Amino acid sequence: MLNQAAISKVEYAVNSGTAIRLLTNKSFDIILCEYDLGSGSDGQDGQQLLEDLRHHQLVKPWTIFIMLTSEAVHSKVVSAAELTPSDYILKPFTVDVLSGRIARAIERRALFLPAYQLMDKGDLHGAVKACLAAEAKHPRLAADFVRLRAELQLSLGEWKEAEQIYADMLATRPMAWVHLGLARTLFAQQRHEEVEAALGVLVEQNPRFMAAYDLLAQNHEAMGQPLQAKKILEDAVTISPHVVRRLRRLGGMAFESGDIGAAERAYKQVVIKAKYSEFRDPEDHVNLVKTLVKKGDGPQASGVLRDMERSLRGGANVEACRAISAAMLHELAGNDLGAASELQQAANAANMAQGLSTQLKVGLVQSCLKNNLDDAASEVMMKMVNEADSDVSMEQAVDVFEKAGRHDLAKGLGQQIKNQVQELLEDAAGKTESGEFKGAVFMLRQALRRTPGNMPVLFASVEAILRQLNMLGWEPVLAEQLQEQLQVIRKIDPKHPKLESLRQQYVATQHKYGIAT
DSSP string, 266-304: HHHHHHHHTTT-TT--THHHHHHHHHHHHHT-HHHHHHH
pLDDT for 82: 57
**Among the listed residues 134, 158, 159, 160, the one whose alpha carbon sits nearest the alpha carbon of residue 146:** 134
Average the pLDDT over 363-380 and give the result: 96
Contact present, 254 and 230 (Cβ < 8 Å): yes
Average the pLDDT over 16-28 and give the result: 88
14 vs 251: which has the higher pLDDT: 251
Backbone angles phi, psi at 33, to 5 degrees: -135, 130
* Whole-number percent of the chain with pLDDT over 90: 67
Contact present, 250 and 237 (Cβ < 8 Å): yes
pLDDT for 250: 95
Work out the pLDDT band at 284, boundaries 50, 70, 90. very high
pLDDT, mean over the chain:
90
Which residues lie closer than 8 Å to 310 by C-beta, 6 or more apart?
A: none
pLDDT in tens, 390-448: 888 999 999 999 999 999 999 999 999 999 999 999 999 999 999 999 999 999 999 99
pLDDT for 54: 86
pLDDT in tens, 309-331: 998 887 899 999 999 999 999 99
pLDDT for 422: 94
pLDDT for 331: 96
Work out the pLDDT band at 80, boundaries 50, 70, 90. low
How many Å apart are CA 32 and CA 46, to the nearest integer?
A: 10
* N-terminal to C-terminal alpha carbon distance within the chain: 54
Contact present, 14 and 4 (Cβ < 8 Å): no
pLDDT in tens, 104-158: 999 999 999 999 999 988 888 899 999 999 999 999 999 999 999 999 999 888 8
Cβ count within 10 A of residue 209: 21
pLDDT for 74: 62
pLDDT above 70 for 41:
no
DSSP category for residue 113: H
Distance of CA 306 to the CA centre of its chain: 31
The sign of the CA dihedral 247, 40, 32, 76 is negative
Most confident of 56-65, 155-164, 399-408, 507-516: 399-408
438 vs 276: which has the higher pLDDT: 438
pLDDT for 210: 86
The sign of the CA dihedral 99, 105, 108, 109 is negative
Peptide bond into 92 cis (omega under 30): yes
Contact present, 299 and 332 (Cβ < 8 Å): no
How many Å apart are CA 246 and CA 128, to the nearest integer?
A: 31
Work out the pLDDT band at 83, boundaries 50, 70, 90. low
pLDDT for 78: 58
Please return the burial class of 182, using the count of CB atoms within 10 Å of its CB with bins 0-12, 13-18 and 19+: buried
DSSP category for residue 208: T
pLDDT above 70 for 229:
yes
Contact present, 131 and 148 (Cβ < 8 Å): yes
pLDDT for 81: 59
How many Å apart are CA 112 and CA 508, to the nearest integer?
A: 32
Contact present, 29 and 64 (Cβ < 8 Å): yes
14 vs 349: which has the higher pLDDT: 349
Radius of gyration of the chain (CA): 26
How many Å apart are CA 155 and CA 127, to the nearest integer?
A: 12
Work out the pLDDT band at 56, boundaries 50, 70, 90. confident
pLDDT for 133: 94
Average the pLDDT over 54-60 and give the result: 87
Sheet containing strand 64-69, edge to edge, reads 30-34, 64-69, 87-90
Q: Is the pTM of this model over 0.75?
A: yes
193 vs 172: which has the higher pLDDT: 193
pLDDT for 40: 56
pLDDT for 46: 82
Contact present, 377 and 365 (Cβ < 8 Å): yes
Work out the pLDDT band at 207, boundaries 50, 70, 90. confident
**Among the listed residues 258, 248, 325, 269, the one whose alpha carbon sits nearest the alpha carbon of residue 293:** 325
